[in-house]
Structures are given as C-alpha cells and as structure tokens.
Chain A
Amino acid sequence: MHTGQNRKTDEILNSLDGFSRAAAPDLFYTRLKAKMLGQLEKGGEIAIPDQRAWALRPVYAVAALVMVLVVNSFVLLQKNKGGATNSINDTETFQSIAAEYSINDNNGLYDLNQDK
C-alpha cells in the first residue's frame, strides 16, 4: 500500500521529465510594442527615469499646488489683519529715515530750474 503510494508520488514528481520549454505567444513583440506605445501615450511613463517619476505623479503635483495656495492665503490673511497698523508703521519708518538723512526739504537743492 505504502509502496504503491510512494510509486504514485514518484511518478508525479517525475512528470516533468521530457518537458519542453513553453514558447511565448505569437506576436509577443508586436503586443509588447503596442503596450509600450500605449503607456507612452498615456503619460510618457516609459521615458521617465524611475527615480524622478514619483514627483510627476498627479497626487504629488496636486498636493504641492494645494500647499502653495494654503501658504498664499495664510500670508494674505495675515497681511489684511494688520493692514492699518502696518501702513502707520510704514509711514513712521519712512519719516524717520527721511529725517535721519535730512532729505525732507532738500528737493529744492536738486531743482535745476530754480535759477531760471
């Protein structure tokens, strides 16, 4: 009984004797080329080196765009909040600079038409 089972198992294990290699289907190269061209048309994936391909994936591009928009909106909001105070501060700064370099009333010095 045991020997019978062993013989059957050995038969199965040896069933690949005289085996020949499976050949790729006909027109394999034509179909491969069509697949590659299809991928190229879709998004040029084939021509993109693997290392940089991730950066061009739509999900990363959209994420980057959203991030830029968020940062812009945040900056604009901050600017609008303190807009009035800032303009006063700016005027004060300009005035102090003008006073420091004595350029408040000096326009006349450069008025070339003064003598005419």
Chain B
Amino acid sequence: MNEAELIRGLCSGEEAAFKELVTTYQDRVYNTAIGIVQNAEDAEDVAQEVFIQVYRSIHNFKGESKLSTWLYRIATTRSLDLLRSRKSKKRFGLIQRLFGDSAEPLYEIPDFNHPGVKLDNKENAAKLFKAISQLPENQKIAFTLHKLEDLSYQEVSEIMKTTMAAVESLMHRARLNLKKILEKESG
C-alpha cells in the first residue's frame, strides 16, 4: 500500500489501513517520544495519542507534506505537551508543599536509560539525556529528531516548519548549551 492508498484507506475508515499505518510508523513515533519525554510508559501513552489523533483528524490532512512529517510533528507536539503538564504538576506540588497541603513526594525524573544505547555508552548517554532535558524546547526537538531519529536538517526543518538555516543554528546552540551543562555538572 503506497502513501496515497494508505491515506485514502484511512479516510474511509478501513481498519487494515490504520493497522498498516501503526505498524509502519510505531517505532519512529515511539522513539521520538521516548527521546523527548525520557520515560518508557509516558512515551507509549504519547505514541498511542499520536495515532488516535491521526485517526480522528486524517480528514484535515491536506497532503502538503509527507505523512511521516505530519506524524513526527504530532509526536513532538504531544511530547512537549506532556513535559509542560509534568512541569505544571511539579509547580503545583511545590505550592501545595509550601502551604503544607500535601505530603506527597515531588515527581522527579530518574536517570533515563534509552533502550537503543550501546551497553558501554549507557552511563555517558544517561548524562547526555539529563542534559538534553534541560535544553529549550526548540533545541530539544531539533537535537532529538536529528540525533535520535537520524533525520536530515531538511527533514527536521519541514517537521518544525522552519528553514534549514534555522535548524542549523538550533543544532549549533544545542551543542553549545549541552557542553555548558555537562561541564557545569562535572564540576
């Protein structure tokens, strides 16, 4: 089934088309989500939400970009939404603690071990992921898509709806920031 047939099938609500979409793109969507949210369960939730959104809004897909570009865009947006809600929960938890309303411990992200990292790199990769989580949103998305999904700057720029030069600049700043964070943390 090519992309046009797949979209046609999805528009007419064929289950076979939906199953093909999921099996074709599930790893890309999951890998993007896990790179950003840095938690396996949350990443699965995000990936599921991405496919549910695609199922709901396939009629709005105008075919101006590739289906994969659209999926990556939804995956990154959903992942960022989850991070924002996590942040606001953390802030709310802090306020509750200030007023003594809650004795619940604050939600802290433990060190994240990406399942795709080589065994000898695990320790260093965990440090890198911790640093990535401190990057500004745009830099985080550009870095994740380029490094974890191995997408070209051109593809990243289409997903982020920006220019290639802007992606190059985001990547450059991301690297500088990561260096700064890592140097600061190693003392």
- Is chain B a partner of chain A in the same complex? yes
Closest Cβ neighbor of B40 among chain A residues: A25
Pair B55/A46 contact, Cβ less than 8 Å: yes
Interface of A is mostly: helix
Q: What band does the interface of chain A fall in when counting residues whose beta carbon is under 8 Å from B?
A: 20 to 34
Pair A19/B30 contact, Cβ less than 8 Å: no
A88 sits at the interface (CB 8 A): no
Pair A22/B27 contact, Cβ less than 8 Å: yes
Pair B30/A12 contact, Cβ less than 8 Å: no
B129 CB to nearest chain A CB (Å):
9
B90 sits at the interface (CB 8 A): no
A100 sits at the interface (CB 8 A): no
Q: Which chain A residues border B55 with CB–CB below 8 Å?
A: 36, 46
Pair A35/B31 contact, Cβ less than 8 Å: no
Pair A50/B57 contact, Cβ less than 8 Å: yes
Cα-based distance from A23 to B186 in the complex (angstroms): 32
Pair B51/A32 contact, Cβ less than 8 Å: yes
B92 CB to nearest chain A CB (Å):
22
Pair B44/A22 contact, Cβ less than 8 Å: no
B28 sits at the interface (CB 8 A): yes
List 10 A-B residue pairs with CB atoms under 8 Å apart, sorted by A's residue number: A13-B175, A15-B124, A16-B148, A19-B125, A21-B148, A24-B47, A28-B44, A29-B19, A36-B52, A50-B57
